[in-house]
A and B are shown apart, each in its own frame.
Chain A
Amino acid sequence: MSDDLKYDSLLLRPIVKTGRAFYITVAILLTLGLWGVVSYLYQLAYGLGVTGLSRPTYWGFYITNFVFFIGISHAGTLISAILRLAQAEWRRAITRSAEVITVMVLLFGVGNVLIDLGRPDRMFNIIKHANFRSPLLWDVSSICTYLTCSIIYLYLPLIPDIAILRDNTTKYRWFYKTLALGWRGTPRQHRRLEIGIAIMAVVVIPVAVSVHTVVSYVFSMTIQPMWHSAIFGPYFVAGAIFSGIAALIIAMAVIRRAYNLQNYLKQIHFNYLGILLLVMTLLWFYFTFSEYLTTFYGNEPVHMAIFYAKFTGEYAPYFWTMVVTCFVIPFVILCNRKTRTVAGTVVASVSITIGMWLERFTIVVPTLVNPRLPWEKGFYIQSWVEVGETVGCFAFFILFYVLFTKFFPIVSIWEIREGREKSVVEVQERVQSYLPSEEEA
């Protein structure tokens, strides 16, 4: 075993050794994924009539999933980039697991739009006959840029670790050798890598913000009541980061447990992320409050029909569950230092994940069910096909994530080592530079 792994051989263990738990997990996820595949094939054969959609409720689960998954994708790249730029030293163990979420979940965000198409066979018309006046085209452009940036941003910090794998493992040598791009760890290579990562970290932030803003524009650019709102851009971005952090905490907790990484993903990481999550909880509540108060005070009948559908009507169970799971539960848990533990933050995160899915749902569906012309009132009951495809998407997302951890270290080995060797001194120097120098004092 080389010098690289003096301390961190534990991080390679998931790649080298595969236990029974892994196969059981994969089997379960594949079974659930299969439900999704069967549902989709059934839908492909019989058309979108097999869903619960109708006129005027033209969008339902799929568009909800689309917004939700794109939201989750903000976990990774954005949080990781911000932490990197802020030189937050505690990021070292968590950036990789965050970045992987982004890349994997984006596929399903886009996938849900494609599932939603009545004619998936014609999807390339989006390129052939592109209409840039349509917010959907803005989405396509923005998400493609984001996916590309996120893949590069995931890959760059992965290169030194791939080289470690190339030098220390026997399986798939050719695979790691190709991906390592001849990394030898020379100072010049390190300098270039750092410049690359720094550039991508800066580039990725505006791109990530644009992505969810543009997703919100799909709704807010129409003149439909309770969609046509200027707050939607920032509201969606805040919600995205909110659900993203929650997803990251869940992923980290699972990894920590499954691969015994308690020494890497420590209590302190969950505590810090918990504080970040608390800030987002409050921000989410602030946006939600502003949005609904403005509607309520204006008291326009077309808006109020939707408002009451959510507050007291048929969507009240969804709406109030959302308020409890997005605000009440996480707020109570996270504002108390004693409950901001690993278990506590995970409970809050699971609650938020459910709540944010419901938030997306209560934005998409009630507006469509209550259109401007009151006699057109619709209804929506999802079918097993839509449930199946939703479950399938979640299963495949988790499966892809699990498979990633089997091929690449989910905690960045070289960055941890860099932290150990360089940053401890660097941080000491940095703190010293903040203080008045001795001569002047």
Chain B
Amino acid sequence: MPKWGMVIDLDKCSACQACVTACHLENNVALPTAASASKSRSIYWIQMLPMKEGRYPHFKMKMIPVLCFHCEHPPCTKVCPVKATYQNPEGIVGQIYRRCIGCRYCTTACPYTVRHFNWSEPEWPKEMVPSLNPDVSCRMKGVVEKCTFCHHRLQKAREQAKMENRELKPGEYLPACVEACPGQAMYFGDLEDETSEVTKLSREPRAFKLLEDLGTEPKVIYLG
């Protein structure tokens, strides 16, 4: 059974936000507006965040893309009273929008605060509505949503492989953000596979995980 994971090379990342845009379009994430931004209610499944290190004069600032880390030991799935969020056997943390009761316990339990809540009915500019992605269900007001590692793409790729009577090949399943990254700073693959690129990169001395000491074992690994 594969364990899907991501490696992001921060030395290659130019913070261009192509991943953010690609994610919004792929996953039918409602577009941030001035109103939602001013209330800190915009939804991003992946977001560029400023990571400040040290103090002046030893100050360093990095922009890092932050998404759901699909923790191996997710604090969010435990606390959901209705099993609306769960970890599938391949390590992807999913969310059942139609079951979620909107108690926001998972959002408060997540130490990375990467879970988002639909404070109102999601809206898109009129022109965008026909181009919503039919593979991804739209969310409704009052439920929690977050990155799914573009799980629908895995399903599609797997169907394709099955039709052609072969195994799924590495690189066949990529989330939209990885695919869109112009600097090729993002890698995606099977962390269980010894030979995969993500496994090799995750063993580099540069590799680190966010809040690693919490023991959540994130499956998004940074290089930098």
A residues near B (Cβ < 8 Å) are: 46-49, 53-59, 113, 116-120, 122-123, 125-126, 128-131, 133-137, 140, 218, 221-224, 368, 371-376, 378-379
Contacts and interface: CB of A to CB of B under 8 A. Distances in A.
Given A56-B113, A122-B100, A130-B81, 18 more contacts: A47-B120, A48-B119, A54-B39, A54-B41, A58-B108, A117-B102, A118-B103, A118-B104, A125-B84, A126-B101, A129-B83, A134-B78, A134-B79, A135-B79, A136-B79, A224-B109, A375-B52, A376-B49
B129 interface: no
A366 B66 CA distance: 23
Contacts of A374: 52
Contact of B105 (A128, A134, A140, A375): A134
Interface of B: 39-41, 49-52, 66, 75, 78-84, 99-105, 107-109, 111-113, 116-121, 141-144, 210-211, 214
A222 B117 contact: no
B79 A119 contact: no
B81 A136 contact: yes
21 contacts: A47-B142, A48-B119, A48-B142, A54-B39, A55-B107, A58-B107, A113-B103, A116-B104, A117-B102, A119-B101, A122-B99, A125-B82, A129-B99, A131-B81, A136-B79, A136-B81, A140-B81, A368-B108, A373-B210, A374-B52, A375-B50
B51 A375 contact: yes
Given A133-B78, A134-B80, A117 B41 contact: no
A118 B81 contact: no
Contacts of A117: 101-103, 142
Given A47-B118, A131-B82, A222-B79, A118 B40 contact: no
B119 A53 contact: yes
Contact of B100 (A53, A55, A119, A135): A119
A119 B102 contact: yes
A372 B214 CA distance: 11
B111 A224 contact: yes
Contacts, number: 135
Nearest to A46: B120
Contact of B81 (A55, A57, A137, A222): A137
Contact of A373 (B82, B83, B211): B211
Contacts of A379: 40
Give 7 nearest A-B pairs by CB, closest first. A118-B102, A118-B142, A49-B119, A49-B120, A54-B40, A136-B81, A47-B141
